[in-house]
Chain A
Amino acid sequence: MSAPELQGTSSLRYLWRQLTSMRNALILLLLLGLASIPGSIYPQRTQSPLKVREYFETNPEFAKWLDRFYLFDVYGSPWFSAIYILLFVSLIGCVVPRTWHYAKEALRKPAPPPSSLKQLENYQTANATLDSAADWLKKNRFRITRDKNSLAAEKGYLRETGNLFFHLSLIVVLLGIGASSVFGMRGEAIVTIGERFINVPTSYDNLAPGRFFNLERMPPFTITAANFDAEYDAETRQPLDYTLVARVTDSPTSTPVEKIVKVNKPLTFGDSRVYLQANGFSPLVTVRDQEGIVKFEGPVPFLPQDSNLTSIGAIKVPDADPQIGFVATFFPTAARDEVRGGFSSFPELLDPRLLISVWQGDLKMDSGVPQSVYRIDTDGMERIGLKGLSIGESYDYGVGTITFNGVVPWVNLQVVKDPGKQAALIGSIFAIIGLLASLFIRQRRIYVRSNGKQIEIAGFGNRPGLEEEIKRMVEK
């Protein structure tokens, strides 16, 4: 006994046929849905890197296992990609040949009626002539094939057109998404009010370019954050409005234009857009040594921790000898209670206070390990002071002084280049139009045959309603 031998090409063809079969396309579709569930259960690196770190800290062993299966990067994982690439191929394999087949079919006239109409749905006879039936069908825009004593009429080709259109549009959407991830970029930068952002890679705190994005050819726009205003509801403390007044230029040398940026109103430079994403406060401090020489001066962005903008930050003074670091918490509106200690009770600057602890020792900034700008690794350092400051106050910690001069807001700008966006949008609009056509247009055929005295009518269609249509036809 010998097993049937599969030739190289025929097994490929077999695979192809499996992949493009309706059943397997459906299974792939359901698998894609199933595969996207874990991404909504476990924190994802692309959305909340901090939560992923937290997860690693609380369940290190389990997290390691989850990470092996890409459960913190579900939507970029090999298995997720495998499913959608297979689905994509299957979609093309289903739709393209079918479009071809259908185009030929649509150009042909409807096939003549079968020999007996009696087995078909809605069979009936009427006292009329073939001519009058043809007239009625023509008036109702059926396409007709006619011979001496019978005719076949068809209507509703748009249904299948819509169906194919829908699937072709989905391919366009997927291509658009692909183009964005390969040719696009996104990046974030914290800009303190009064500062200018110049669109070059080094200005970013965080930059994620696509594989074929050219970092040397970024549009040379600049944005000066002139003023930022955050309004809050006095009762609920919810934000009401954020307004950034920006002076923007298309290149560093051209004259600035004033623009307003809001959460739902980004700036546009060609195919890049700039979004107002988050905001916080930068305390302005001056640090002097014992002789009164300024070792550090300027705004330091702090990271908000809650909706009342209690913020944490680090002021690092590598120029002091030995090095000094301030681990600090900032309260826009300082308040105290027994449970929480110090906290902020309102997100606006009603009673701003800066709480600092002073650390002396090696800041480890030259160690080569990337550091958070908001935190100081105090291992091996010594605490030499602790103080709360209001605006204008100074604190002498023995080997120097720190002065809290004031507060300026900062904004987080997100710059996005998304070249496939239009394709995805146009694709989805066409997809809806196609979907409506494929769901709501009826396709049906009507056959009429004359036996000299009477005519016989019958037909079939894929949605109810044919019966009434034939009834109307007979009445005429």
Chain B
Amino acid sequence: MTGRDWAYLSNDLIYVALFAYAFSFLGYAFATAFSVKPGGIDRSTTKRSNRIATIFFIIATAALTLGVIARGLSATRVPWGNMYEFSITGALTFAIAYLIIGRKYDLRWLGLPITILILIILGTAITLLYRPSAPLVPALQSTWLVVHVAAAIFSGGLFLLSNTVASAYLWIDRMERRGGRSEFAKRLPSLEVLDQLSYRLVAFVFPLWTFAIIAGAIWAEAAWGRYWGWDPKETWSFITWILYAAYLHARVTAGWKGRKAAWLSLIAGSSYLFNYVYINVWGTGRHTYSGL
């Protein structure tokens, strides 16, 4: 197969993934809507739609995995050379993290928001960010591309998951303060569990993010002649790092929990998103390659 064939195959697979996630979304939406009955929740009627949704989710994730691999094969390199490729890989990490963590905690309630987020990410990637598969510009021709970008993508996927959980926390917390959970929210875990889960994800991903920054510095030293130069992307990854460092300190040393901690982690997560979207699209600096 030629590079072009692989690129077309990759595009097809990513469309398949998009449709499968859409079906999964419908399944989760159905399950969510119909398990709420007057006077209580009846999960027995929606068990099947929940399972179908999960099956579609797995099919979609498999197609997305193959799509990302094919994209890499089309240019015989790792598929992390521009924003489109970064987005599809990020969505994949996010989906896989959900599947893995969902095995340990009961996270089926998160299926709906998570499929929505993945649909948004893939949708923007396909419609706005798509660029034909191409070789890498010289500055990107380095083994550090694999290490640095992989660490950054995985961190992003997990920050997003942690933020989803923290948002769920804040939402339920508000409901409980205003007189109790809605019928739907009763399916969700206790506030303590959400709080802990959000913290654990951050604690897990913070060293990885630190590593992503350091790997980037080592690469910048080789490619640009300095390991730190306050490039906008560098500045914002530093800000994200500081915010999460503050979050961990606030939690461990100052004993912050619950609402305050959730807000802080949401702010920190938004700085990552800002860095990704704003700096890539409207920003300047040395991290802007190949159009996007």
Residues of A within 8 A of B (CB): 22-23, 25-26, 29-30, 32-33, 36-37, 39-40, 43-44, 46-48, 51, 74-75, 177, 186, 233, 236, 238-242, 262-266, 273, 275, 277, 414, 416, 418, 421, 424-425, 428-429, 431-432, 435-436, 439-440
What 6 A-B pairs come out closest when comparing CB atoms?
A33-B242, A275-B225, A40-B232, A263-B138, A264-B142, A40-B235
Q: Closest approach, in angstroms, between the C-beta of B51 and any C-beta of chain A?
A: 30
Check: B35 CB closer than 8 A to any chain A CB: no
B206 to A33, Cβ gap below 8 A?
no
Contacts of B246 in A (CB 8 A): 26, 29-30, 33
- The answer to whether A36 and B139 touch across the interface, beta carbons within 8 angstroms, is no
Which A residues are CB-close (under 8 A) to B242?
A: 29-30, 32-33
Q: Which of B135, B142, B221, B239 contacts A233 (CB 8 A)?
A: B135
Question: Which A residues are CB-close (under 8 A) to B221?
Answer: 418, 421
Chain B, range 113-150, C-beta contacts under 8 Å to A: 132, 134-135, 137-139, 141-142, 144
Tell me whether A264 and B223 are in contact (CB under 8 A).
Answer: yes
CA distance A436 to B223 in the complex (A): 29
* Beta-carbon nearest neighbor of A416 in chain B: B225
Complex: A262 Cα to B137 Cα, angstroms: 12
Instruction: Please measure, in the bound complex, the distance between the C-alpha atom of A46 and the C-alpha atom of B232, giving whole angstroms.
Output: 13
Closest to B219 in A: A264
16 inter-chain pairs at a CB distance below 8 angstroms, sorted by A residue, are A26-B246, A36-B238, A40-B283, A43-B284, A47-B229, A236-B132, A238-B134, A263-B138, A263-B139, A263-B141, A264-B142, A275-B225, A428-B210, A432-B207, A436-B207, A439-B207
Besides A26-B249, A435-B207, 14 other A-B contacts (C-beta < 8 A) = A22-B253, A29-B242, A30-B242, A30-B246, A36-B235, A36-B239, A40-B236, A46-B230, A47-B230, A51-B284, A186-B225, A275-B224, A421-B221, A439-B203
Residues of A within 8 A of B134 (CB): 233, 236, 238
Cβ of B250 under 8 Å from chain A:
yes
Q: Are B211 and A432 in contact (CB under 8 A)?
A: yes
The answer to whether B285 has its CB under 8 Å from any CB of chain A is: yes
* Distance A185 CA – B214 CA, assembled complex (angstroms): 22
Q: Is the CB of A23 within 8 A of B254?
A: yes
Given A33-B243, A239-B137, answer yes or no on A40-B279 (Cβ-Cβ < 8 Å): yes
Interface pair A264/B230, CB less than 8 Å apart: no
Task: State the CA gap A44–B229 with chains docked (Å).
Answer: 11
B277 within 8 A of A: no
Task: Contact check, A424 vs B245: say whether CB atoms are below 8 A apart.
Answer: no
Q: Mark B244-259, 1 if CB is under 8 A from A, else 0.
A: 0110111001100000
A424-B227, A432-B210 known; A238 and B254 CB under 8 Å?
A: no
Query: By the criterion CB–CB under 8 Å, are B218 and A425 in contact?
Result: yes
Residues of A within 8 A of B204 (CB): 439
**Interface: B226 (CB within 8 A):** yes
Evaluate contact between A238 and B290: CB separation under 8 angstroms.
yes
Number of A-B contacts (CB under 8 A): 122
B245 touches A29 (CB 8 A): yes
Instruction: State the Cβ distance, A122 to closest chain B Cβ, in Å.
Output: 18
Closest to A33 in B: B242
Return the contact of B217 from the options A22, A46, A428 (Cβ within 8 A). A428
A34 nearest CB neighbor, chain B only: B239
B106 within 8 A of partner (CB): no
Q: How far is the CA of A436 from the CA of B204 in the complex (A)?
A: 9
Of listed B207, B232, B254, residue having the most chain A CB within 10 A: B207
Q: B interface, by DSSP: helix, strand, loop or mixed?
A: helix
With CB as the reference atom, state the residue of chain B lying closest to A433.
B207
Centre residue among B204, B219, B239, B284 by max chain A CB count within 10 A:
B239
B12 interfacial by beta-carbon distance below 8 Å = no
A262 touches B138 (CB 8 A): yes
A239 and B138 form a contact (CB under 8 A): yes
Contact check, B238 vs A33: say whether CB atoms are below 8 A apart. yes
Determine if A22 and B207 form an interchain contact, defined as CB atoms under 8 angstroms apart. Answer: no
Cα–Cα, bound, A154→B142 (Å): 46
User: Of residues 248 to 292 in B, which have CB atoms within 8 Å of A's CB atoms?
Assistant: 248-250, 253-254, 279, 283-285, 290
The CB with the most chain A CB atoms within 10 A, among B134, B226, B253, is that of: B226
A266 touching B222 by the CB < 8 A rule?
yes
A262 to B136, CA, bound (A): 14
Assess the A48–B284 pair: CB atoms within 8 A. Answer: yes
Chain A nearest Cβ from B228, distance in angstroms = 7
Q: Give which listed residue, A23, A44, A435, contacts B210 with CB less than 8 A.
A: A435
Return the contact of A238 from the options B137, B232, B279 (Cβ within 8 A): B137
Q: How far is the CB of B263 from chain A (nearest CB, A)?
A: 13
| A238 / chain B contacts, CB cutoff of 8 Å | 134-135, 137, 290
- Checking A26, A39, A266 against B254 with a beta-carbon cut-off of 8 angstroms, the contacting residue is A26
Partner among B138, B231, B232, B239 whose Cβ is within 8 Å of the Cβ of A241: B138
- Contact partners of A429 in chain B: CB under 8 A: 214
Chain B residues near A421 (CB-CB < 8 A): 221, 227
- Complex contact A47–B285 (CB within 8 A): yes
Of residues 174 through 226 on chain B, the ones whose CB sits less than 8 Å from some CB of chain A are: 203-204, 206-207, 210-211, 214, 217-219, 221-226
Residues in A whose Cβ lies below 8 Å from that of B290 = 238
Nearest A residue to B144, CB-CB? A264
Q: Which residue of A lies closest to B264 (CB)?
A: A30
Residues of B within 8 A of A23 (CB): 254
Among the listed A51, A239, A242, A414, which residue makes an inter-chain contact with B225, where contact means beta carbons less than 8 Å apart?
A414
Nearest-neighbor residue (CB-CB) of A231 within chain B: B138
A262 to B283, CA, bound (A): 27
By the criterion CB–CB under 8 Å, are B141 and A264 in contact? yes
CB of B225, distance to nearest CB on chain A (Å): 4
Asked if A435 and B137 make an inter-chain contact with CB atoms under 8 angstroms apart, the answer reads: no
User: How many Å lie between the Cα of A29 and that of B228 in the bound state?
Assistant: 18
Interface residues of B in 72-104 (CB under 8 A from A): none
Provide the residues of chain B in CB contact with A263, threshold 8 Å: 138-139, 141, 223
Considering only residues 142-175 of chain B, those with a C-beta below 8 Å from chain A are 142, 144
A83–B171 Cα distance when bound, in Å, is 36
Which residue of B has the minimal Cβ distance to A436? B207
Nearest-CB distance from A22 to chain B (Å)? 5
- Nearest Cβ distance between residue A227 and chain B, in whole angstroms? 16
Minimum CB–CB distance for B162 against chain A, Å: 14
